[in-house]
Structure 1
């Protein structure tokens, strides 16, 4: 394959670990999500400098964050020493500052129907960030505005499609009612609008520069799996994966399941053979999709394979997103000295590749494998050495620690549980251990308006029935509401034991009353009722996915805090040991005082001997996990100046989004069916806002606890391939005989942890 990289791409390629490109579409890999944004921005500006009146289609949504940031920073600093340095280092030294006003913008897609005034409407994003933000001419733009698409009888979509439900089968069947006839005629008018939109794009010569993220199923714009590679602009349904990732924007999958989309087609992208079509992706969660999109022949199963016919098509990736490419796997083995970690990976992957248990592998099997044959000193003992090292990790995962003070941290609610719950189960059973759980951000976005409305209505009913007795206690509204938080928790868990759903709900209503009094400073029952009335009125006037006022957001967050307290109370942890940190960066107010000091003060106060944290920083969206990791690292660094932390252990975990491999970790924790059952039951009983999975993972149409169990089982299969099934069911250890899952964890000392955090920080920051 002839590689015709631009000057910007060549500059980034020189910095990349991956130099040998063998994929069907060329790519450039960088070491961080921010750098991915810089590459995308510079590539865009490079193209605009040569095509000042060109046709562009640019990304919408959260993943566009760094692309927008660096485009603005470069334009504002083009001729400053700072900007000149960046340009000189990345192939733009002699390029004049581009002028964006002549560009012709094409919106690649939007939900349908959706009001153009909603903040979660993609048109709203385009108007704010590209028309206004980049200074593009709206008169040269092709935009998708649901409010302006003509429907039958001149009616608005809210009249034609009650509840925003559109039955596309009306394209092919007889309309049976007057409403269906109106809807059928309107669908055909939308189809005609889409055809005209497509024609307008082609009249412009087609898209010349296209930049977009990629969905978990490989979708581009809204061209999901199965899309015709020559498809045009159209109104279409989405699939589950797309519905899951858009649930957060639309206010829950209950909404996104029923919302259609208008999207340009894969044929739209291919119309201009010179189209610079760029797909960018970050994080290991998308790695399998990237591998198939870049290495497979063109297939409707992977829409991005349609770009193979475009000579200027590119993929811009983080190392995490590229990790499963054949190029990356080969680079892993040939880069630097050979390590035991490489030996472990080569042998474990060989077991899977040839479907053989480790104990059955022969020396000939090892020699025949491309990577196992590279193992220094390859011999009959090689496999046993790997088996021994994995068993040592298992042994470490079975150890019972005593007299430890654990400080488990999670970026969001349920991260700790989904990451390392089976390990925590054993820690809590030892009475000499002290447990602390700290969630670093608010969980308000995970609570739907519908859930909150139902809860508030139930709370009023409880008040009407006299079932909220605490509200009548003396001094309750003075300061009584601040006490006995553990009583609410105990009441709820007691009701679980009694299998009394009504009393469980009453327990939630108790906590809701406390939250209402705390936030709105209510002084009487009538005040509480008035507050509830105003909240419900606000919710009723807010569209799905709309931004809540700060106080309502805080109320939602306090509901999530209650859930977190319920989970750990299952194992005897008191409310005072569950810490809700609300770090400042989450609210746009980042500083040492808001992000680091709250954690450091806890370290000083509780003096943990073990700290856990999520170590999956190469995400593809808002970098909450990375920021929490850095905040914890800085707190540890400061604390290290004050105390001897030579015995402090740092446990790194990953959850259902990002997964470790057995060769990445120092500890493997066996998980029994009993532990899985406990995990599932406590998740579904305590995370009441998540039981119906309004914001599910795209990997599973169900609760996150089910996905965690699947992850643990798949990890067990990896180990089982190496050790053999009989190692488990014939083992002398009852725990290993009962094992059907595995949790992988890092185990680092302070120095090792700070070195990793520092290395990550250098790759993520300091670009400007």
Structure 2
């Protein structure tokens, strides 16, 4: 019976999938399987042949393998490895090379013989690549094939660098990289223009020959492509779907990467559910949007025809469910994000008292505040709450080099106009120009350049916060140390980051905190900043009475909005407020037109924000609620 239930639950899935609570647990499980394989083969006097992957996904696996080597005596003396791919052209000593990646994350920390390591050669002359690829294949076959191949998956659905259009029987070869793949790699190379356009990759046919294949994926960013790979039809447009043909494959996911699989996203389609408030709300919204019908017009037949008969029986009739969910959504809408004074707040998202609240808006980068919640920011100030904004990082990696020279030239001209000696400033300026002329992709800027980039973003943030109505003493620049590396990779968080946050919280003693809840933030800064806030509050809660009355509201950044069923507070914006928000975003001139790190969305930040807020309002309208110009959405974090 249990097996039948499992088969029913996973009936949309076309290959085996194992889901773990988080990527740390999943990575350790995969590492343990590799460890057991190596030891089993060693006992039999055999060599283990591993196919290895690069990128962020396998880092935890490699870290655990290193631990197993150091602490549990796992030896790699009898292991031969073949890496999936390498950029072309690429020097092995380059920081972006997969040779460097593998050495830093695994090979330099274990006892594998160097002659047992095989990675495609990114330095070959073009005419020698076909022969090299044939030899790569021959070496694998000579060893009896790969015992285990681990894979990640790109957002194009690529495995290795087998991009859309790859054939299922393809071998090791030179390929052209998809534009999305290059955009995803752009931070590592200091801009997409520096990312190689080609790579040498093991083919899908080569991967298929492995006796065991484990594809790993973590975080919500991978959820859409995982759904296509696991539940979609086989297609060259999503090369990972070819793995459906293999009898030896398993997808290992964390809960976030698995979130869009049917059994997690719309479980009522595959199994009986426990219909709590949140799942009921999610299902009714889903049904309304699927049928393009307002919630109050959904019928019993609609429920029965779309896997929700159990809900109608247990909680029905359907119309009562509709009214209940409609009212729940309606109660999320408020024009008083700080609470409406002297009103019944039993059906409102925020407390009525105190009427005037102390508020801290934490902004990971110097523009997240106005991009993500600029309308609510301005509304809170207009409604006379005691609002502070705290910019957690300098954002100094996201300024164009040309802007630095422009501001330096301004400073030199200004000094000259008031008769100041410019010799020292000109010397620094000349050094900057010389540095930029020789600067390599992703090279760390000098301290002076980083300072100027930070000053640029600071002055823009001050301008935006002033426009929102804040006095200068309510604008705080934290410059959290973890961020100040001058590179896209950041330092680990330390007590100093947390102590700086605690100091500000203790100074303001807020009733409300607003913080970026972008756990799929492609650059990672948002989630790091959020965890720092949580740790700071956790420590303060042990001694500080005011923390008991402090609520934390999460907002989303420029990438995507909360799901409608998750939203707990929706602040409607009038056309005039939308314009005021746009003007506040415009104060961040260094991020306008084309930011240094735009992600995979070519739109300007103000356009993304405006269209996202309008889309949220449209969804509410189509559900049968009032039609607003735009809405900003928030979810409360329960301490």
**TM-score, normalised by the number of residues in structure 1:** 0.72
| Counterpart in the other structure of 1:521 | none
**Candidates 192, 198, 220, aligned match of 1:260:** 198
Work out the CA distance in 1 between the residues paired with 2:158 and 2:581: 33
Match of residue 444 from structure 1: 396
| Corresponding residue of 1:353 | 290
Secondary structure, in 3 states, of the residue corresponding to 1:381? helix
Alpha-carbon shift at residue 639 of structure 1 (Å) = 3.3
**Where in structure 2 are the equivalents of 1:726-745 lying within 5 Å?**
727-728=626-627, 736=628, 739=629, 741-745=630-634
TM-fit CA distance, 1:685: 4.7
- Following the alignment from structure 2 to structure 1, what is the Cα–Cα distance between the partners of residues 450 and 145? 43
Conserved 8 A contact 2:159-2:240: yes
The residue that corresponds to 2:76 in the other structure is 100
Query: Are 1:77 and 2:13 an aligned pair?
Result: no
Please tell me whether the aligned partners of residues 29 and 322 of structure 1 are also in contact (alpha carbons under 8 angstroms).
yes
Q: 1:632 to 1:462 in 2, by over 3 A?
A: closer
Match of 2:470 in 1: 573
Larger relative contact order (Cα-Cα within 8 Å, sequence gap ≥ 6): 1
Deviation (angstroms), 1:668:
1.6
Aligned residues: 607
Is 1:34 equivalent to 2:24 in the alignment?
Answer: yes
Distance 1:548 1:607 in 2: 37
Unpaired segments ≥5 residues, structure 1: 4-16, 79-96, 151-185, 474-523, 729-735, 755-768
Does residue 1:297 correspond to 2:236, yes or no? no
- Give the counterpart of 2:181 among 242, 245, 249: 242
User: Would the alpha carbon gap of residues 597 and 672 (structure 1) be closer, same or farther in structure 2, given more than 3 Å must change?
Assistant: same
Partner of 2:555: 653
Please state which structure has a larger fraction of its residues in helix: 1
- In structure 2, do the counterparts of structure 1 residues 529 and 99 end up closer, same or farther at CA, with 3 Å as the change threshold? same
Q: Supply the distance in 2 between the matched residues of 1:145 and 1:60 (Cα, whole angstroms).
A: 15
In the other structure, the counterpart of 2:224 is 288
Q: Which of the numbers 698, 707, 723 marks the counterpart of 2:608?
A: 707
Residue 425 of structure 1 corresponds to 378
What stretches of structure 2 of length at least 5 have no aligned partner?
341-354, 484-489
Q: CA deviation at 1:548?
A: 3.7
| SS in structure 1 of the partner of residue 315 of structure 2 | coil
Equivalent position of 2:331 in the other structure = 392
8 Å contact kept, 2:357–2:386: yes
**Aligned residue among 630, 637, 646 for 2:538:** 637
- Matched with 2:619 is 718
Distance in 2 between the 1:444 and 1:391 partners?
Answer: 41
Which has the higher mean CA deviation after the structures are superposed, 203-212 or 546-555? 546-555
8 Å contact kept, 1:535–1:552: yes
Matched residue of 1:745: which SS?
A: strand
Equivalent in the alignment of 2:386: 434
CA distance in 2, matches of 1:691, 1:556: 17
Query: Displacement of 1:335 after TM fit?
Result: 8.7
Q: How far off is 1:385 after superposition?
A: 1.8
- 1:265-664 → structure 2 map (5 Å cutoff): 265-272=203-210, 274=211, 276-329=212-265, 337-371=274-308, 373-375=310-312, 376-379=314-317, 380-395=319-334, 403-430=356-383, 432-447=384-399, 451-452=400-401, 454-459=402-407, 461-462=409-410, 466-468=413-415, 472=419, 525-549=422-446, 552-586=449-483, 588=491, 590-592=493-495, 594-617=496-519, 619=520, 624-640=525-541, 641-657=543-559, 659-664=561-566
Query: How far apart are the structure 2 equivalents of 1:434 and 1:646?
Result: 19
3-state SS, counterpart of residue 631 of structure 2: strand
Alignment deviations for residues 241-296 of structure 1 (CA, whole Å, 9 cap, x no partner)? 2122111011112323x633222222221133x1x222222222321211111111
- Residue 346 of structure 2 corresponds to none
CA distance 1:589–1:310, change in 2 (3 Å): closer
Cα pair distance change 1:652/1:460, threshold 3 Å: closer
Aligned runs of 1:36-51 on 2, under 5 Å?
36-51=26-41
Q: Distance in 1 between matches of 2:119 and 2:607?
A: 40
Shift of 1:358: 2.0
1:63/1:620 contact within 8 Å kept:
no
Deviation string, structure 1 residues 10-62 (Cα, Å, up to 9, x no partner): xxxxxxx9995442121221222322332332232233223452222323233
CA distance in 2, matches of 1:286, 1:633: 25
1:553 Cα offset (Å): 4.0
Match of 2:344 in 1: none
SS where residue 300 of structure 1 aligns?
coil
CA distance in 1, matches of 2:84, 2:382: 54
Deviates more, 1:65-74 or 1:622-631: 622-631
- Against the structure 1 CA distance between its residues 662 and 471, is the aligned structure 2 distance closer, same or farther, given a 3 Å change threshold? farther
Match of 2:345 in 1: none
1:655-694 CA-to-partner distances (Å, cap 9, x unmatched) read 3445422222321223455555554554355151463133
Native 8 Å contact 2:86 2:98 kept in 1: yes
Distance in 2 (CA, whole Å) between partners of 1:67 and 1:208 is: 17
Shift of 1:365: 1.3
Contact 1:344 / 1:663 at 8 angstroms: preserved in 2?
yes
- Alpha-carbon distance in structure 2 between the residues aligned to 1:470 and 1:46: 73
Equivalent pair of 1:62/1:622 in contact (CA under 8 Å): no
Q: CA RMSD in A?
A: 3.2
Deviation at 1:608, TM superposition (A): 1.9
Q: Deviations over 1:312-333 (max 9, x none)?
A: 2122211111111112236589
With 64-73 and 346-355 compared, the bigger mean Cα shift is at: 64-73
TM-score relative to the length of structure 2: 0.85
Q: Is the 8 A contact 1:119 1:546 kept in 2?
A: no
